[in-house]
Amino acid sequence: MTELLAARHVSVYRDGKTILEDVSLSIGEQDFITIIGPNGAGKSMLLKCMMGFYAPSEGTVFRRDGLKIGYVPQRLVADHTVPIRVRRFLTLRKKASAVDIERVAGETAIQDYLDQSLHVLSGGELQRVLLARALLDDPDLLVLDEPAQNLDVTGQLAFYKLIERIYAERNISILMVSHDLHLVMSSTREVVCLYHHICCSGEPHLVTRDPEFIGLFGQDMARLMAVYNHSHDHDHVHDHGHDHSHGHEHSHHNGGDSSHASHHYGHSHHDPSHVGRDRQKEQQDG
Amino acid sequence: MDDFLIRAVAAGIGVALIAGPLGCFVVWRRMAYFGDSLAHSALLGIALGLLYGININLGTVIVCTVFALLMVWLQQRRVLATDTLLGILAHAALSIGMVAISFLGNVSFDLYSYLFGDILTVRMIDLYWIFGGGAIVIGLLIVNWPALTLMTIHEDLARAEGVNTVWANILLMLLMTIVVAVSIRIVGILLITSMLIIPAATARQLVSSPESMAVCAALFGVIAVMLGISGSVELDTPSGPSIVTAAAILFAVFSFLAAIRRRA
């Protein structure tokens, strides 16, 4: 596997606080990695270090020579004082033919807005415009920083579906930071759980069993996520009208699987008692 | 037409042509207060120029550049809000400038002409400054236009795509110092910001692309200069305020027309 972008033992200290501590993360070809974690966990900082916006205090960032990254920021606040149409925004600093523009516009379903001003678009439309701009250079890697944070639930679902489709069709790698646990967990991609250091990583249904994940997000959230994940295990169409009531049974079943998620032990706030409590609860439920 | 009038018109047009496009960024990036503060600090540059016998345009460029870099440095320390910092620096520079001027003693100093401009006293050397400085400003603006516009729309996006946003910010500030330095004789320290923002704001009502806003702003500036100077000569009014009055009338007319068009 060729490595595209990697953080190697990256630490960031700001104003006497440890924002990132010894974080290593590698993105290879056709990887789809989602970084999750609570507010202030350092997710954005990790992304910014990997993008080269900030130099880490310790450690290095590897970037393959000639790697093309498409970056989709959290949101675009389209200021009405700047008069600019979508088409012009897409081509600022880029050499793109009309054909290229039509192609990415079709891919992201923004054909109808190409000649509209940026500031009249809705939040979801703006995110798709940002995505189109990121795709215009045919990137090898798409980096998305909480791309759906300011959308409503329907908008989030549609946006994540679009990302999934682009991933499947373009055969590219994706590195995403996300707050939207329920949507991330319903996919089977790799999840990295970050809280200043990498707590755990792996497929969502394994991560939700991880004691550090439970410690971070709480028992209820872990349980809820496990339910989300399992109700979709056999059905990758994300149907939100779905009845989740049978989820407990599943989580009981797979209780022993947690060892498959890769742990990163040796950090101070790791609390093994969570494991015990988790098991106990499941037994009671069963 | 008299020579002094030709020089006045040429100087005014030169300033309008550079202030318009740069003014778009002042409007977009909300730098109006920064422009005002920069202009206030120019008085210190004038005072130092007169005290040490160097060209006052050069004195202004030096003082304004120091002001701009100091501002960038203080901003990055994030201890105080930008408007507080600007208020401190601008008024300190203005006051120090006035104190320094009082040391000039018996040298005749027409403060009024520096505050409000005196376009009818423009000399050839001023024209060289305006068109030389203007060529630099326009050249750098054209070369960096896409990067600066992208940075204005989304700073992180520009950074992700390889724009050095720290340098781009400094570049914008330096371009503004040049405009301030060459505009003093035309509209004066107190009115420089209006030449940057009023034509750009007028242009905003009519356009739908950043490039056409820049061109329109330059054109509105030129029209304001022509109307202002003819009014000034006809009615014997001060030139700088006459130009700004003309620009303000244009803004009012086009705002009114735009409001009607939107309702229709």
Give the chain B residue whose CA is nearest to the CA of A73: B157
CB contact under 8 A, B213 and A83: yes
Residue B43 token pair: 């008085």
CA distance B217 to chain A (A): 13
Residues belonging to chain B with any Cβ–Cβ distance to chain A shorter than 8 Å: 27-28, 146-147, 149-150, 152-154, 156-157, 159-161, 163, 204, 207-210, 212-213
pLDDT, position A277: 38
Residue A271: per-residue pLDDT? 41
pLDDT by residue (tens digit) across A114-165? 999 999 999 999 999 999 999 999 999 999 998 888 888 888 888 998 999 9
Interchain proximity A81–B27, CB inside 8 Å: yes
Give CA separation, B169 vs B21, B44, B72, B142, B144, in Å: 16, 23, 9, 15, 11
Neighbours of B109 (CB within 10 A): 15
Give me the interface pTM, i.e. the ipTM.
Answer: 0.88
Which residues 64-93 of A are in CB contact (within 8 Å) with B? 69, 71, 73, 76, 78-79, 81-85, 88-89, 92-93
Higher pLDDT, B108 or B65: B65
**What is the DSSP code (8-state) at residue B161?**
T
- Using an 8 Å CB-CB cutoff, list chain B residues near A118: 153
**Can you tell me the distance from the alpha carbon of B167 to that of B169, in angstroms, rounded to the nearest whole number?**
5
Across B77-106, average pLDDT: 87
- Whether residues B209 and A76 touch (CB distance < 8 A) is answered with no
Q: What's the CATH number of domain B3-263, 1.10.3470.10, 3.40.640.10, 1.10.3720.10, 1.10.10.10?
A: 1.10.3470.10
Written as six digits, the tokens of A246 are: 């049978």
Structure tokens at A238: 């994300």
Cβ A73–B146 below 8 Å, yes or no?
A: no
Nearest CB neighbour to B160, from listed A51, A78, A83: A51
* Chain B hits for A93, Cβ within 8 Å: 146-147, 150, 161, 163
| Cβ–Cβ under 8 Å, residues A104 and A118 | no
- What's the per-residue H, E or C state across chain A? CCEEEEEEEEEEEECCEEEEEEEEEEEECCCEEEEECCCCCCHHHHHHHHHCCCCCCEEEEEECCCCCEEEECCCCCCCCCCCCEHHHHHHCCCCCCHHHHHHHHHHCCCHHHCCCEHHHCCHHHHHHHHHHHHHCCCCCEEEEECCCCCCCHHHHHHHHHHHHHHHHHHCCEEEEECCCHHHHHCCCCEEEEEECEEEEEECHHHHCCCHHHHHHHCHHHHHHHHHHHHHCCCCCCCCCCCCCCCHHHHHHHCHHHHHHCEECCCCCCCCCHHHHHHHHHHHHHC
Six-digit token string for B158: 């520009």
Q: What does the longest C-alpha to C-alpha distance in chain B come to? A: 62
* pLDDT of the residue at A261: 52
Predicted TM-score of the model (pTM) = 0.84
B166 vs A215, higher pLDDT:
B166
Which residue among A78, A83, A143 places its CB closest to the CB of B208?
Answer: A83
- Are B210 and A84 in contact (CB < 8 Å)? yes
Find, in chain A, the residue whose alpha carbon is nearest to that of B201: A81
Half-sphere exposure of B33 (CA within 13 A, CB side): 12
Token pair 């779905």 in the structure block, residue: A242
User: What DSSP character marks residue B119?
Assistant: G
H helical segments located in B78-164: 82-102, 111-116, 124-153, 155-160
CA B102 to mean position of chain CA atoms: 26
- Which residue type occupies B67? F
- Stretch B200-218: mean pLDDT, rounded? 96
Whole-angstrom distance, CA of residue B225 vs CA of residue A1:
65
Distance in Å, alpha carbon of B162 to nearest chain A alpha carbon: 10
| Lowest-pLDDT range of A16-20, B117-121, B158-162 | B117-121
Q: What's the rounded Cα separation, in Å, for the pair B133 and A27? A: 49
Q: Which amino acid is at A51?
A: M
Q: Which chain A residues contact residue B212 at CB under 8 A?
A: 83
Burial category of A246 from C-beta neighbours within 10 Å (exposed 0-12, middle 13-18, buried 19 and up): exposed
Q: What span, in angstroms and rounded, lies between the C-alpha atoms of B152 and A77?
A: 11
- Chain B residues in contact with A120 by the CB 8 A cut-off are none
- With an 8 Å Cβ cutoff, are A71 and B156 in contact? yes
What six digits make up the tokens of A232?
């979709």
Homologous superfamily (CATH) for A3-67+140-285? P-loop containing nucleotide triphosphate hydrolases (3.40.50.300)
| Sole residue written with tokens 């977009």 | B28
Kindly report the backbone phi and psi dihedral angles of residue A271, in degrees, each rounded to the nearest multiple of 5, phi listed first.
-120, 105
Those residues whose C-beta lies under 8 Å from the C-beta of residue B253, and which sit 6 or more positions away, are: none
CA nearest neighbour of A83 among A130, A118, A124, A133: A118
- According to CATH, where is 3.40.50.300 located in chain A? 3-67+140-285
Q: Which of B26, B157, B202, B205 is the mutation pick for testing A, counting most A CBs within 10 A?
A: B157
Domain boundaries, chain B: 3-263
Under 8 Å between Cβ of A184 and A261: no
Q: Residue A68 corresponds to which tokens in the numbers above?
A: 């093309």
Residue A113 sits at the chain B interface (C-beta within 8 Å): no
Q: Is the dihedral of CA B158, B159, B165, B167 positive or negative?
A: negative
Alpha-carbon distance A119 to B7, whole Å? Answer: 42
Looking at the complex, report in whole angstroms how far the Cα of residue A52 sits from the nearest Cα belonging to chain B.
8
- Chain B residue whose CA is closest to A81: B28
Least confident range of A218-222, B35-39, B118-122: A218-222
* pLDDT at residue A230, rounded to an integer: 52
Q: What is the mean pLDDT of chain B?
A: 91
Q: For chain A, which residues score pLDDT lower than 50? A: 231-260, 265-286
| Token representation of residue B36 | 């005002």
d(CA B174, CA B172): 5
Find residue A33's DSSP bridge partners: A175, A190
So what's the pLDDT on residue A227? Answer: 59
- pLDDT at res. A118: 94
Q: Considering CB atoms only, which of A76, A93, A118 is closest to B161? A: A93
CB atoms A143 and B160 under 8 Å: yes
Closest Cβ–Cβ partner in B150, B212, B213 for A92: B150
pLDDT band at B52 (very low <50, low <70, confident <90, very high): confident
Sorting pLDDT into bands at 50, 70 and 90, what band is B40?
A: very high
Determine the Cα–Cα distance for residues B50 and B41; give it in Å rounded to an integer: 15
- Here the tokens at position B225 are 């200069």
Question: SS3 for B174?
Answer: helix
